[in-house]
Structure 1
Amino acid sequence: MFRFSTCSFRGVALAIILNIGLVVCSGGTVRAEDQDGGVPGDWLSTYLGARTAGIGGAFVAAAAEPISVVWNPAGLSLLSQNQVYVETARLFESTSINGVSFAFPARRFPSFGLTILNLRSGEFERTNELNESMGEFSEGDIAFVLSACKSVNRRFSLGANVKVVRQSIEEFDAAGVGFDLGLLYNITRSLRFGASVLNVGGPTLTLRAIDESYPAEFRGGFSFEFFSGRALITGEINHRSGPGASFHGGTEFWVHRNMALRFGYTESSPSGGFSYRIMPGMRFDYAATDHELGVTHRFGMSYQFGGFFASSEAVPPIFSPLGQQSVTKFYLKAKTKADAERWSLDIEDKSGHIVRRFGGKGTPPAHVMWDGKDESGLSLPDGIYKYRLVVIDLEGREFVGHERKVEITTEGPRGAVPVFTKDD
């Protein structure tokens, strides 16, 4: 999770220019006819999630979602909390694709994930040699992906998938098993490289005595964060045996703590989308992708819980340095992937200025006391103040707690006081 701080007008303008530039470049690209429809496993190779589609499918190095194991299983190393992700997309001619994914990050053991994807077509008319109708049939594909990932050190992570794929057409069906391998390398804290090799050794499906193997696929790309993690630029090159190479790129910018906008380029079409944090730990994603057959819409919902975190709570949340409740106690909790290196609890005024900072090395204490004074020991004026706990572990990961509020008041009780006269 990143810190959200006020950025300069120049920074916002630069992010907007980058977003517009990607859309213009995407819109100016000459579209080509889709030549990949007959490639086995094309539905899984070209699969895009709600967030992924918004940045043009360039996700191999920014794979911080449970469902990102479809592109790079090493992406599980970027997750800090247990997470559930569900999404759906309505494609063309009543065809839909749905997915659900679970991720469980671990500290000393590998992180694990499970993803289920399902493609279901509409009804097709069956005809004989004389073109006479013989009813209808449909096609369905489903993939079960079991993932594992381990951070070798603070910069390097490795991951692998075992996937079972099943396809059914009319009364025919077949299943096969394949493997994926992926890695992530943090060049700096802001710049990351990602790569994956998909469909290693299959899957191979046999329908009507004909073997069809998913072609091997290579993905490589980068992601770069700036503006304190509020902005992201990604780029990716994919290559499959048969269809050849394709380029993807996109950008993401959190215009507000709870709202992100995305623009991207995928294949030969522009895309865009947004995210909205409904509540702490819950996020809604949407993406729209242009296509020759029309615009497709994707919807996703994620929920985070448990896992690794940092949290703080002021008790009482309202206190008076001149009254009975003269101090407030901040209760601190943290669970990090590696041992904690340092922590800080910043208290800010309504202008965003830090008026008091607590901090130290190692794991944060169970609680700290605050008497309503600033760093120089002067009493602060009445008002509402924001605070947040940040913990950094020995491998450089930053765990940022939810922002909360505490209030200082030196006024007496508020409300109407009844006055009685002799006549009463």
Structure 2
Amino acid sequence: MKHMAQTSAGGRGATLLLFTLALAGPALAADGGEGLPGDWLNRFATARSAAIGGARVALPDEPLAALVNPAAAAWFERGAVQVNTTRLFEDASVNSFGVALPASGRPSLAFNLLSLGSGDFERTGALSDEVLGTFEEGNLAMGLAVAHPLSDRIAAGVQVKLARQSLDEFNASGVGFDVGLLGRLPGGIQVGASALNLGGPTLALRMRDETYLRELRGGVVVPVVGGNGLLAVDAVQRDGADPQLHAGGRFRMQGLELSLGYDIDNFAAGFSYSLPSGLQLDYAMSDHDLGLVHRVGVTWRFGGFSAEANAAPAVFSPTGSEPVTRFALKARTRAEASAWKLEIVDASGLVVRSYAGQGQPPADITWDGKDTAGRPLPDGTYTYRLSVNENGGTSLQARPGTVEISSGGPRGAIKVAP
């Protein structure tokens, strides 16, 4: 007969509490249901979402967002692969993997895999503290979300979720469902709502049934600073727990995004940095009474729906052999394009020339180095940016580029001998 797995002096319970507190990160709250069934999954946050306090039900900007709102997949602009890791206390860690496959004219998909590993516990005898070896506890969750726009401003999604728990030689698994809605309001405001853990999962581990708590989420995201930032707020109600409030903000400067979040007891902060190759690096640090928890994530975006603008030549001279530059424009939109705009901005941030039209942008536009009034612009580097609006209020933003006017002619030096 095998000895019962035990830990000394309540060590197992204390360690599991540490896991729960660390997972809570920015979502920790008094009487928030810590330690109840499914708490580890309900409190999970990626590096990107943890940095804004876990307020993410109305913010579909990463594959793992489908974990809290299955409708998120309907509004992904590009395909994406995402990995995240969170180092907790002792040897515990949380690792996650997500894939998003957006589509036009058919449902979009998101697949997510999430695991919590406890590290090793000491195994002791039933009647003594003699160490007989080690054992582990683990949790695993897999979700497949299917989402589709119901109109230009509303999207819905459903997710089937499999949860599995293991403790030493004991294992249990169960299935549950999640549903979600997303909406777009005037002014770029987004709202979201979801109901999680419907009908389970229910796990029967060692003849004891535990059902993941049902959770209701509602949230809003408001753009600020001319669209270069956002404020997000979520309200969460879980069965058997007090309501929770999550809030945070994000500000974008070119490829760098800075975030700050807070809810009741804890601060969180982080950043995201996007590379031209489609890679995005995420980091978040959350604070609680037991110390700091660090989260790191990497996302690679590919294909999908996007806008592009490229200038050739990148350096030209209005008075030279190459008097103009041509902007090659391209946009692949999910919905029908309603309007487009190409702006050319000087070093001070002033728009010196703009082009606009209805529908899809033209294949190319020629610029002769003059401003809107037809006056020649001085030599220097100018930034160009393309935006394409879709029916329903969404907008695609091309990565900004630069073009240089250089009309000074060749330069040289004459050496004069004394």
Please classify the TM superposition score into its range, dividing by the shorter chain length. Answer: 0.7 to 0.9
Q: Could you tell me whether the CA contact under 8 Å between 2:60 and 2:76 is conserved in 1?
A: no
Counterpart position of 1:148: 146
Counterpart position of 2:384: 387
State the distance in 2 between where 1:242 and 1:128 align: 35
State the distance in 1 between where 2:29 and 2:98 align: 33
1:257 aligns with 2:254: yes
Change (3 A) 1:273 1:188: same
Change (3 A) 1:201 1:33: closer
Residue-by-residue CA offset, 1:19-44 (whole Å, 9 max, x unaligned): xxxxxxxxxxx97477521x221110
Counterpart position of 2:8: none
Counterpart position of 1:270: 267
For residue 48 of structure 1, the aligned residue among 16, 34, 45 is 45
1:241 aligns with 2:239: yes
Instruction: Between 292-301 and 185-194, report the one with greater CA deviation.
Output: 185-194
Counterpart position of 1:210: 208
State the distance in 2 between where 1:113 and 1:377 align: 50
Counterpart position of 2:89: 92
Query: How many angstroms does 1:137 deviate by?
Result: 0.2
Q: Could you tell me whether the CA contact under 8 Å between 1:154 and 1:395 is conserved in 2?
A: yes
Residue-by-residue CA offset, 1:303-351 (whole Å, 9 max, x unaligned): 2221111111111111222222122211111111111111111112222
Instruction: Between 177-186 and 220-229, report the one with greater CA deviation.
Output: 220-229
Counterpart position of 1:177: 175
Q: TM-score, normalised to structure 1's length?
A: 0.86
Residues 5-154 of structure 1: pairs in structure 2 closer than 5 A: 32=30, 36-37=34-35, 39-131=36-128, 132-154=130-152
State the distance in 2 between where 1:34 and 1:195 align: 19
Residue-by-residue CA offset, 1:97-151 (whole Å, 9 max, x unaligned): 0111111222211111111111111100111222222210011111111111111
Q: Could you tell me whether the CA contact under 8 Å between 2:223 and 2:231 is conserved in 1?
A: yes
- Give % identity: 44
Counterpart position of 1:7: none
User: Residue type matched to 1:76 in 2?
Assistant: A
State the distance in 1 between where 2:228 and 2:173 align: 43
Query: How many angstroms does 1:200 deviate by?
Result: 0.9
Residue-by-residue CA offset, 1:181-224 (whole Å, 9 max, x unaligned): 00112232332221110011111222223222212111112221
Q: Could you tell me whether the CA contact under 8 Å between 1:280 and 1:402 is conserved in 2?
A: no
Change (3 A) 1:418 1:175: farther
1:314 aligns with 2:329: no
Unaligned runs of 5+ in 1: 1-29
For residue 195 of structure 1, the aligned residue among 190, 193, 213 is 193
Residue-by-residue CA offset, 1:276-300 (whole Å, 9 max, x unaligned): 3344633222212222322111111
Count of aligned pairs between the two proteins: 390
Matched residue of 1:153: which SS? coil
Counterpart position of 2:158: 160
Counterpart position of 1:5: none
1:226 aligns with 2:229: no
Query: How many angstroms does 1:77 deviate by?
Result: 3.0
Counterpart position of 1:14: none
Matched residue of 1:52: which SS? helix
State the distance in 1 between where 2:161 and 2:264 align: 25
Q: Could you tell me whether the CA contact under 8 Å between 2:33 and 2:242 is conserved in 1?
A: no
1:412 aligns with 2:409: yes
State the distance in 2 between where 1:34 and 1:248 align: 12
State the distance in 2 between where 1:315 and 1:230 align: 28
Unaligned runs of 5+ in 2: 1-27
Matched residue of 2:335: which SS? coil
Counterpart position of 1:17: none
Change (3 A) 1:330 1:153: same
State the distance in 1 between where 2:66 and 2:247 align: 19
User: Residue type matched to 2:201 in 1?
Assistant: P
Matched residue of 1:376: which SS? coil
State the distance in 2 between where 1:361 and 1:275 align: 33
Change (3 A) 1:35 1:215: closer
State the distance in 2 between where 1:417 and 1:238 align: 74
User: Residue type matched to 1:57 in 2?
Assistant: G
User: Residue type matched to 1:378 in 2?
Assistant: R
Q: Could you tell me whether the CA contact under 8 Å between 1:92 and 1:293 is conserved in 2?
A: no
User: Residue type matched to 1:224 in 2?
Assistant: V
Matched residue of 1:262: which SS? strand
Q: TM-score, normalised to structure 2's length?
A: 0.87
For residue 336 of structure 2, the aligned residue among 331, 336, 339 is 339
Q: Could you tell me whether the CA contact under 8 Å between 1:190 and 1:226 is conserved in 2?
A: no
Please provide the CA RMSD for this pair: 2.3
Matched residue of 1:67: which SS? helix
State the distance in 2 between where 1:87 and 1:67 align: 9
Query: How many angstroms does 1:232 deviate by?
Result: 1.9
Q: Could you tell me whether the CA contact under 8 Å between 1:64 and 1:76 is conserved in 2?
A: no
Counterpart position of 2:354: 357
